[in-house]
Each structure stands twice: as C-alpha cells, then as structure tokens.
Structure 1
C-alpha cells in the first residue's frame, strides 16, 4: 500500500481496518513520509474518532511514541482535557507520558486543587518505578533520589505556594526529599514565615532583568516575549523568572552563518532579535528546539515569529505562531537562521520575509522581501541560572528533505 503511494501518489483507505491504518501510519513514520503521516492522522481523526476513543490506550501509546504524530497527540490531549477528572482517577493515569501529565496538571480545572494534583503526581511517579518499596516510609536515599528524578519536571508546575500551613505539613513535607533542593528550601522558608491565621497568597514571579544585555530590545520587550513563550494573555502575570542570556551579537561576533552555527548549534530555547537597517523596525523569532546544519526541518508547535514596527512602541507588534509544525524550523549551513521561509537571515547582513505566509499564521511585515540587517542578537532563555529545558521525551525530531531550493547569495537592495 505504501509502495502504491510512493510510486503512484495516491492512497485509498476505504475498506482497511483501523488497526491496519495505524500500522501504515507507523510504517510511514519509519520511512519519513511526512505528507502521508499528516494525511493518515487527519483521516483517523475525521473518520475513526469513535474507534480511537474505544481504543484510547493504543492510540495514546502509539502517538506519544512518535513525535511526528502531533495531531494524534492533540486528539488524545483533547479527550483527556474534556474529562480530566475521569483520567486523573482512572488506572490509565499512571500510563500517561510525562509531557501529558504536565499538560494535565496545568489544566485550569485542577489548578484549584493542589493537594489532588500532588497526590496524583506522586502516584504517577511511583508507578514509573515499580522497583520502589510499597511503603514510602521504607524508602532508602537512592529510592528518594530515583523518585525525585522522575518527578523533577512535574513538580515545577504544581502550585505548592497556594497551600495552607496544614496542607503543606500533612501532605507535602513528609515527601520533602523528593522535591528539588531549591524548591524545598523556598517552600520551607515560605511556610515558616507565613502566619497560620492568614490566607496564603498566590506567589507570582517577575522576569528578572539581571544580565539583560541588548543593543536592540528593552526589558519591556523581554516581558512581552516571555508571555508569548508561555502563551499567556497580555494582562496575565508572568509565572516563570526568565532571563535572556546573550550568546551572539553580530557586531561583536560576526554575521556569517558559520559563526551563527558555531555558537548556536545544539542550543535550544533561543530568541533571535534583528534590527532592520535605517529604521526602528525589529524582527525576531523563538525557536524552542535546537539549531543544526544538516539541511533538515525541525518539528515544533511552539515556535513563533514577530515584529515591532517601532522600537519605542512595544504595543505596535505582529505575532505569528507556527501553523505547520512539521516545517517550523529550517536548518541550513548557508543561512544563519530560518523560521521555515517566513523569516530568514542570510550571511551577508541581509534577510528575507514572505508576503504570503507559508508555515506561520501571517506575515510579520507590511513590506516584505529582502532587507538589510543593522544588528542582530541571539539570546538563550534561562530559568534562574539554568537553560530552559526541553521536557524529557519531547525532543523534536527533524526530517531531512533534500529538496530545499538553493539560496541566492546576493542581497543587494539598492
């Protein structure tokens, strides 16, 4: 069937069992047939929804074992989020992936019940390590370290600071050794200093301006960009203390693609900031996955590009999120950065944007085409002093196409 698609360009799914279509989907992934992968996922969601609901465990396991099955992952998450309490209390909860557990505990329906979230996350973590003793009071130091390593990504999303004294002492403190050291110490200090007869405040952290080093943007820009990263509304409070760590500046390090890739390759969660020559216009983009030089597409649903028409007015911006995640990032040795073809930076201080959006929601410039670069900077987003991490098991895969058009090495705008 796949050979028929490869050589004939057509595929007829009528008459095939759903389980067979799942097998074809897996085989397509192994062969890197991205167009077919997308088509099969859409077909299943549109035509086999009831079957997939009845066989949820199979669909969930299959989708999260392969990062390219993003649409099936979203389908599974939607089912869970429609009835989150049902999944929280089901036996299937402990079989969920780490990324799905994190998404679930962030769901607004469960932010109100921190104790329930904590108890279920503990249950999930213990289930991932069946070798642990059945009685937590018998845990050795190694057992506690194992459980802490399992839970470390999840615990950062639990709003422990919203607990009362009694809740913290009864439900969290007995497991203090499975919390990261910094979080544990901050919680203990907080609840020691918090009077028992006062309501617990909701702790919100602000972006740190420490080490902010830019010739292009201000701390106000970083606050807005951080909200975009967390997919917050403009009026929302910022819950993560992001810092923007400068790793490359064109005027300091050079504008060549080789310099960009030497410094930025294999670094994730980077913000690119570009100052357009002879204007106050700023362009930029966020890449949550790593840059490479292997002529490949990087898959992510969290990247975005943006522009500020005037540096002095941060309210005058255009934000454009990726709409075709399979082609979100293009890695190419002869260009510094590529958010697909929608925002490209070449090596001779010039770049390009598209008038008609290709892989992103909309164009970020009123006048598109080639532009000259006055300055550009690359920042890596950090939390505290550590780089913001990709969730374990969520590292995006990349697809080698080999069909990328050659780039024009000239960028004369005169």
Structure 2
C-alpha cells in the first residue's frame, strides 16, 4: 500500500514552514500504526486485537486514507469474526455516527444483529441507542424475532427516553409521560407490523 494523502494529517504550524501532526482522539497504539504507515507505506495487523484494528480502521477513514481503510476493513472481516459478532451493535453505531461508507461492514453487522436480536435488545446500552440505529434494524424483513416482542422492546426503549424515571406500573404514569413516550417512538411506530400481532397478545403486553 502506498500512503496517498499525508496532507490530511499535517497542519502548518508557523511562518517557518514547520508542519506538525494533528491526530485528535487517537490512542498511542493507533498513532504508532498510522506513523508506521506514513513512513513505510505498510502495516502489520497480525498480532493486533479486534478492537485495535477497529480503531485503526476508523482513524484511517477519518483521515481519508483510502488504501489503509480498505486493507484494514478486509483484514478485520476475514480474521476477527468473533469480535465483529460480539460488538456488531457498537460497530454499527460507529458506522452511522461517523458516516463511514462501507456497505460490506454495515451489512455484516445488520445480518448478525437480525440473526441474533439479543445482541441489540439485551445490550447494556440498549436504552441509550439512537433512533437511526433502531430505525435501520426495524426496516429489515429478516429480524429473527416475533413482532410482539419487537413492539415490547420498542416500548421499553421509548420509556427509557422519558425525561423522568417511570415506574413499572403504567397506571402511575401521568398524561405528560404518555405524551412524551408517544413522541419518542412516533417515527418508529410505522415500522412495526401490527398485522402480525394478535389482539390478545397486543392487549396482554
């Protein structure tokens, strides 16, 4: 690989023409890998863990290093399937947050989550996940979960977005609580296939 865009890393610091590296929010390991790539045009990912490779991938994308980005993504997908499965939700979140343009990696994460929905709905940070991430999942036709459970999880997510902590008993909620809940899930409701939910299951939930 050739280092193709060093200007993305450099910032002219003074009138003497001295350039400095500007790499915000990048840890030391990633920094060393990037520096190696700058000076040698190659990197060795053989002994790096999945999370290290993931950070290198997004750092290289952030600084428009196309060749390094493609190489790192290909290596991550080929050699770290267990990592991608375990952290598919977090990776998808980063893809959406950074506008990372990789259909292959995004589709891999989506396929994994749809096949194993508990990765999403049982995630510790499920209540903090952004609306666009839920939307892209709920639009899928292959989410491996019955519709009533999808609806129930959406309600749980919406409740968690309410500004005050709600009790488990809806009878104790105020009119304002219900209004805020409706507002939280309003754009996602059309993605629920209510025709697949029996009236008995709907009212039971």
TM-score bucket of the superposed structures, by smaller chain: 0.5 to 0.7
Q: Please give the secondary structure, in 1, of the residue aligned with 2:186.
A: helix
Do 2:158 and 2:184's aligned partners in 1 also have CA atoms closer than 8 Å? yes
Q: Normalising by structure 1, what TM-score? A: 0.35
Q: Please give the secondary structure, in 1, of the residue aligned with 2:78.
A: helix
Q: Please give the secondary structure, in 2, of the residue aligned with 1:115.
A: helix
- Structure 1: stretches of 5+ with no match in the other structure: 173-414
Please, which of 74, 78, 83 is the counterpart of residue 111 of structure 2? 78
What CA distance in whole angstroms lies between the structure 1 residues aligned with 2:82 and 2:122?
19
Deviation of 1:123 after TM superposition, in Å, equals: 1.2
Please, which of 159, 167, 174 is the counterpart of residue 126 of structure 1? 159
Q: Per the alignment, do residues 57 and 111 of structure 1 end up closer, same or farther by CA in structure 2, a change over 3 Å counting?
A: closer
What CA distance in whole angstroms lies between the structure 2 residues aligned with 1:147 and 1:89?
18
- Partner of 1:30 in structure 2? 62
Structure number, greater radius of gyration:
1
What CA distance in whole angstroms lies between the structure 1 residues aligned with 2:165 and 2:197?
28
Deviation of 1:55 after TM superposition, in Å, equals: 4.5
Please, which of 65, 78, 82 is the counterpart of residue 97 of structure 2? 65
What CA distance in whole angstroms lies between the structure 2 residues aligned with 1:110 and 1:53?
16
What CA distance in whole angstroms lies between the structure 2 residues aligned with 1:60 and 1:23?
14
- Partner of 2:148 in structure 1? 115
What CA distance in whole angstroms lies between the structure 2 residues aligned with 1:116 and 1:54?
22
Do 2:61 and 2:69's aligned partners in 1 also have CA atoms closer than 8 Å? yes
Do 1:94 and 1:127's aligned partners in 2 also have CA atoms closer than 8 Å? yes
Please, which of 23, 33, 45 is the counterpart of residue 13 of structure 1? 45
What CA distance in whole angstroms lies between the structure 2 residues aligned with 1:112 and 1:30?
35
Do 1:105 and 1:111's aligned partners in 2 also have CA atoms closer than 8 Å? no
- Partner of 2:181 in structure 1? 147
What CA distance in whole angstroms lies between the structure 2 residues aligned with 1:50 and 1:83?
13
Do 2:127 and 2:160's aligned partners in 1 also have CA atoms closer than 8 Å? yes
Deviation of 1:163 after TM superposition, in Å, equals: 4.4
- Partner of 2:16 in structure 1? none
- Structure 2: stretches of 5+ with no match in the other structure: 1-32
- Partner of 1:158 in structure 2? 192
Q: Per the alignment, do residues 109 and 17 of structure 1 end up closer, same or farther by CA in structure 2, a change over 3 Å counting?
A: closer
> Which 10-residue stretch deviates more, 118-127 or 49-58?
49-58
Q: Over residues 186-215 of structure 1, what are the superposed CA-to-partner deviations in whole Å (9 max), with x where a residue is unaligned? A: xxxxxxxxxxxxxxxxxxxxxxxxxxxxxx
Structure possessing the higher relative contact order (Cα contacts under 8 Å, 6 or more residues apart): 2
Deviation of 1:159 after TM superposition, in Å, equals: 2.1
What CA distance in whole angstroms lies between the structure 2 residues aligned with 1:110 and 1:74?
13
Q: How many residues align?
A: 170
Matched, 1:40 2:72: yes
Q: Normalising by structure 2, what TM-score? A: 0.63
Which of the two has greater helix per residue? 2
Q: Cα RMSD between the aligned structures?
A: 3.4
